[in-house]
Amino acid sequence: MSIRYSSESVISGAQFVAVLNASTLGERRPVEDLARMQTMIDNADLIVTAWDGAKLVGVARTITDWSYAAYLADLAVDQSYQKQGIGRQLIAVTREKLGAQCSLVLLAAPAAADYYAKVGFDWIENGWQIKRTN
Ligand SMILES: CC(C)(COP(=O)(O)OP(=O)(O)OC[C@H]1O[C@@H](n2cnc3c(N)ncnc32)[C@H](O)[C@@H]1OP(=O)(O)O)[C@@H](O)C(=O)NCCC(=O)NCCS
């Protein structure tokens, strides 16, 4: 299977919702609020997508200043395409686009708690967060 990766493709909020639902990450995102999902797409700085022909099968959505820090806000691969290296490649393209000056941090979903060590991330114990209230 030949998967194409893109950091230029523009996707809609509806496409974003579809791939998150296909991955199961939709359970942990406000997918019922399409306007909010569209805003998440519109205001992201880097969206790397994976395509099987015309079908969107994976996405990595990052917020960054392109110079020091980056936050990997969503990483999702369609369940029928998982464990084929697509997530790893989405991260690789994201890192390549960010360059060496940016660190990349994330909040792991429970289902992916053991994943990130396999794809180059170090676990950090000095992370803190203020949770969203809505
Ligand atoms: C987590 C996710 C993005 C991984 O994508 P993927 O394309 O299946 O991952 P890869 O094929 O690149 O996997 C790379 C390695 O991690 C392993 N792996 C994949 N998913 C894993 C998981 N959930 N937990 C632990 N290891 C995992 C693979 O077996 C592979 O191991 P190998 O190098 O020894 O062969 C995908 O499973 C997904 O979308 N999950 C649901 C949504 C989610 O939880 N996203 C993360 C939000 S923080």
DSSP letter assigned to residue 74: E
Cβ contact 94:104 at 8 Å? yes
Return the CATH superfamily for domain 3-118.
Gcn5-related N-acetyltransferase (GNAT) (3.40.630.30)
Helices (H), 1-134: 13-23, 34-42, 86-98
Q: What is the pLDDT of residues 64-113, one digit of tens each?
A: 999 999 999 999 999 999 999 999 999 999 999 999 999 999 999 888 98
Q: If you take atom 1 of ligand 1, which residue's CA is the nearest one? A: 112
Q: What is the pLDDT of residues 26-67, one digit of tens each?
A: 999 999 999 999 999 999 999 999 999 999 999 999 999 999
Q: If you take atom 35 of ligand 1, which residue's CA is the nearest one? A: 83
Q: Is the pLDDT of residue 1 over 80?
A: no
